[in-house]
Structure 1
Amino acid sequence: MEALREAPEELLWKANFNSDNSVDTYDRAIRTFLDFLGISSPEELRTITHGHVIAFKKFLQDQGRSARTINNRLSAISSLFNHLIDQQVVKINVAQGVKRMPVNASRVEAKVLAPVEVRNLLNSPDVSKLQGLRDKAILSTLFFTGCRVSEVCSLKVRDFYEEQGFFVLDFWVKGGKRNRMAINQELQITLDQYLTETGHGPDQASFLFLPVKSGYKALDPKRKLSRRTIDHLFNKYANTIGIAGITPHSARATFITQALENNCPIEAVQKTVGHAQIKTTQMYDKRTAKYRESASFAVRY
């Protein structure tokens, strides 16, 4: 696997992306694909056929992965093979003929939490312990900014600061762009408490959220927090309060829906969450008013 990751063509392919988030997303997709096939050398990569990609797609379906996740994995494979074709390493794109999963383009399927559920989730971590304090800060960042998990992982201490009387988080978002947003007082206080307790606030180049060292007694300033860690802690606290079937993406959907419920202009929401097009923001809109307006309530027999 390491030999494959050091191959010049694959390195050039990853270097072509504009942001670390894109590199991480596609790199993880390819890694999952290669692990599924048991491939460990560049030579084996060149022997992949359409059948291997179809089998991988079926594997992801059997795992219960969402249609969007499966399509993302297939897109990563297709992108890599397009690059290999350009470099005259292979002749065909083995993912090109594999049908993508149907996706409801009018809405995002992530579950939206009620305010009381969010509050229970935020209160779940044991803030008397360093890990619990960190976990609450992570959950608060997700629910009070609507950011993506990858954006949480990439935050540095220097990305949290005060400007013009507002406390700000400055995210790296899709496309290698920055998205600077003012945050509310509750999130600001939570982040201040976390940084005060960890003591790494003065280290501006450090990642804001750090992995926990073995033994859960200290944070590790030498490593970057992984998305898998955030997925794990999110599921752990959700299970603690009895909520099933949610992912960190539910925090983004909940943030957008709550902002719109409270009459925040959709253009402001779009800018805050870093959507390039407003129709993407509309896909997250799950305001209960849509249920209240159901024609079913007007029917009498």
Structure 2
Amino acid sequence: MKWQNALKDYQLYLQIERGLSKNSISSYTNDVQKLTTFLETNDIVVSPTSISTETIQEFIYEIAKKVNARSQSRIISGLRSFFNYLVFEDYIKNNPLDLIESPKIGRKLPDTLSEVEIDKIIGAVDLSKPEGERNRAMLETLYGCGLRVSELINLKISDLFFDEGFIKVTGKGDKQRFVPIVEITQKYINIYRHEVRNHLNIQAGYEDTLFLNRRGKKLTRAMIFTIIKQLAEKIGLKKSISPHTFRHSFATHLLQNNADLRSIQLMLGHESITTTEIYVHLDKSHLTKVVEQFHPRK
């Protein structure tokens, strides 16, 4: 079996069997390609079904010189997934990464913004420009609904169920969920739709896409990052933030206001409650309140 053929089969498996997004499939594939590049560079001729644990260990020693422990751990995880697929398909009997341990890394807590910082960033949007109303509506939606950036740029007008108070969100692996949307966010989306979007020359294929660029096409992830970075600089914010920071802030502020983890999990679209539990670690005062309220010896 050749690496190229194995990778193509693996990509189909990730797409059809696992239902992963293009970005996730690309990430998994890149991890394996890093290994094949190492093999080619060092003139190591070996197939996916005959590569040894020792050879993979040599590769890991090499990448350890270039990347941090977190990136190293992610690459190992990607390779382990690829070889698990080969085991699953009976190409090999054992996963060569079974004896390889990932580096120990601490759990990275996501950066968050305070409510005041959120207000300052959104307040810094220049509403005198046509894109201002769009940018305000996008930031309100990111924060108000806890969306991923990919979910924001793919949001459609047909996904808006304002009468019912929900929007339909298509998340990772094309999994759909309904997320509540508050009236203030609905208000800003409607202002953008009726006062700005209506006047755009919308390109074919983007008629149903909610947030559009000046050319009437879908916005890119990079554009959202740029907008947020410029607003952070404008208000002199020292934190390094991204669109995901608004999602983290959404979850953290809900938890601080006594929302339960299960509800937050459903709104964020997390498959596992353990992913959502990271927000408990962000706010230690929340844990103190729980003890004070419920412990018999309070």
TM-score (norm 1): 0.69
Residues 258 and 171 of structure 1, relative CA distance in 2, 3 Å threshold: same
Which of 216, 228, 233 in structure 2 is aligned with 1:234? 228
The C-alpha deviation readout for 1:71-93, integer Å capped at 9, x for no partner, is 44432333233334555777875
Tell me the residue number matched to 1:26. Answer: 25
Measure, in 1, the Cα distance between the counterparts of 2:188 and 2:253: 20
Partner residue in 2 for 1:297: none
Query: Aligned partner of 1:254: which letter?
Result: S
Distance in 2 separating the partners of 1:17 and 1:209: 31
* Secondary structure of the corresponding residue to residue 16 of structure 1: helix
Maintained 8 Å contact 1:143/1:251: yes
Distance 2:225 2:101 in 1: 28
* Aligned residue identity for 1:82: N
Percent of aligned pairs with the same amino acid: 21
The residue identity in structure 2 corresponding to 1:60 is V
Matches of 1:29 and 1:88 in 2, distance apart?
Answer: 20
* 1:19-168 matches, cutoff 5 A: 19-21=19-21, 23-31=22-30, 34=33, 49-56=56-63, 58-61=65-68, 67=70, 71-84=73-86, 96-104=98-106, 109-162=109-162, 165-168=163-166
Structure 2 residue identity aligned to 1:141:
T
**Contact 2:206-2:216 at 8 Å conserved across structures:** no
| Unaligned stretches of 5+ residues in structure 1 | 294-301
Deviation at 1:4, TM superposition (A): 5.6
Between 238-247 and 3-12, the greater mean CA deviation after superposition:
3-12
Show the counterpart of 2:13. 13
Instruction: State how far apart, in whole Å, the 1-side matches of 2:207 and 2:64 are.
Output: 40
Q: Which runs of 5+ in 2 are unaligned?
A: 290-298
Counterpart in the other structure of 2:238: 243
Taking a change above 3 Å as real, the CA distance of residues 8 and 254 of structure 1, as seen in their structure-2 partners, is: closer
2:258 alignment partner, one of 263, 268, 282: 263
Q: Secondary structure at the match of 1:166?
A: coil
Alpha carbons 2:32, 2:82 under 8 Å: kept: no
Bigger CA radius of gyration: 2
Contact 2:112 2:245 in 1 (8 A): yes
**Conserved 8 A contact 1:113-1:250:** yes
* Contact preservation (8 Å) 1:138, 1:152: yes
Offset of 1:18 from its aligned partner?
A: 4.0
Of 220, 243, 247 in structure 1, the residue corresponding to residue 217 of structure 2 is 220
Contact 2:151–2:171 at 8 Å: present in 1 too? yes
- Please, which of 201, 208, 211 is the counterpart of residue 209 of structure 1? 211
Aligned equivalents of 1:219, 1:198: Cα separation in 2:
9
TM superposition score normalised by structure 2: 0.70
1:42-80 Cα offsets, whole Å, 9 max, x none, are x99858844334434553318xxxx3x654443233323
Let me know the Cα RMSD of the aligned residues: 4.0
Q: For residue 167 of structure 2, what is the aligned residue in structure 1?
A: 169
Partner Cα separation in structure 2 for residue 112 and residue 238 of structure 1: 13
How far apart are the structure 2 equivalents of 1:129 and 1:82? Answer: 52
* Counterpart-to-counterpart distance in 1, 2:11 and 2:170: 22
Aligned to 2:189: 191
In 1, are the aligned partners of 2:11 and 2:29 still within 8 Å (CA)? no
User: Is the alpha carbon distance of 1:251 and 1:179 closer, same or farther for their aligned partners in structure 2, counting shifts above 3 Å?
Assistant: same
Amino acid at match of 1:218: R
Amino acid at match of 1:25: S
Question: How many matched pairs?
Answer: 272
Residues 179 and 272, structure 1, Cα contact 8 Å, conserved in 2? yes
Moved more, 262-271 or 141-150: 262-271
Q: Secondary structure of the residue that 1:181 maps to in structure 2?
A: strand
Q: Does 1:282 align with 2:281?
A: no
1:178 aligns with 2:180: no
Q: Could you say what secondary structure the match of 1:170 adopts?
A: strand
Alpha-carbon distance in 1 for matches of 2:210, 2:18? 22
Looking at structure 2, the residues matched to 279 and 260 of structure 1 have their Cα atoms a distance apart, in angstroms, of 15
CA spacing shift, 1:279–1:30, aligned 2, 3 Å: closer
**Residue 180 of structure 2 aligns to which amino acid in structure 1?**
A
1:279, CA displacement in angstroms?
4.3
